[in-house]
Amino acid sequence: MTAPAIDPQAPSWERDGVRLEIEGELAVVTLCQPTRRNAQSPALWRALVDAGRDLPGSVRVVLLRAEGLSFSAGLDRAMFTPEGIPGEPTFLQLAAAEDRELDDTIASYQEAFTWWHRADLISVAAVQGHAVGAGFQLALGCDLRVVAEDVQFAMKETSLGLVPDLAGTKPLTDLVGYARALEICATGRWVGAEEATTIGLANLAVPGTELDAAARDLAAALLAAPRGAVIETKALLQGASRRTLDEQRSAERVAQARRLRELAGIGD
């Protein structure tokens, strides 16, 4: 089936491959260039950053999904050519840049992959087909992942002589452990749905026809709990690996005191 052409009058986000829809407390971010397998470019990354910055304060859950057979095939192949993408620095120009300029450029790219972990949100990625390189790292940027049974994750950067630099190495290591993360990245091999759920990379695997519904069901369940309790719980869990047991116990007490006082209408 041929995907509809992007309307030239559409918002700039959509022309760059991203669509944002607000449904009350749920925001749906869709990668919408299925004929290009949602290949990623700096323009798409800027659109993702803008989408995150423009979320209304009422949004509690963000669902990241993609149109077409693949979630994202990774970087736009034009980025690997000497000509690059018009208006964007080529790989050769990046390599020749001063250290600070190169660092700043990569940091700007990383923003598209990091805002999904914001303390006031829970993000859910619905992933089908190929999620390669930058696509894999975008899925890792979310708090939770629901995958279709045909999903295929791969971190191909090392095979190209590069490293995964879009903020994916920490969440991958946190999810599956150092040894397995190293093996996945260094070999560039494929990780399917069954393995992804077994090793903790995915929360749930469903038939492709049920992916959107399953992701929305999870989003609805997340929205069912009071916002303050969810935010406090997320903060406790995010910081748990950096704390000792006694420090975590203390953090739990402080968080619970805030919850009790808020529920009782006591305090600031």
Q: Render each residue's pLDDT in the chain as its tens digit; 268 residues.
A: 334 444 444 456 677 899 999 999 999 999 999 999 999 999 999 999 999 999 999 999 999 999 999 999 999 988 888 888 888 988 889 999 999 999 999 999 999 999 999 999 999 999 999 999 999 999 999 999 999 999 999 999 999 899 999 999 999 999 999 999 999 999 999 999 999 999 999 999 999 999 999 999 999 999 999 999 999 999 999 999 999 999 999 999 999 999 999 999 986 6
What is the pLDDT at residue 218?
98
What is the pLDDT at residue 118?
94
Residue showing tokens 């829809």 = 21
Catalytic residue among 21, 25, 111, 157: 157
pTM of the model: 0.92
Q: Is 157 a catalytic residue?
A: yes
What is the pLDDT at residue 16?
87
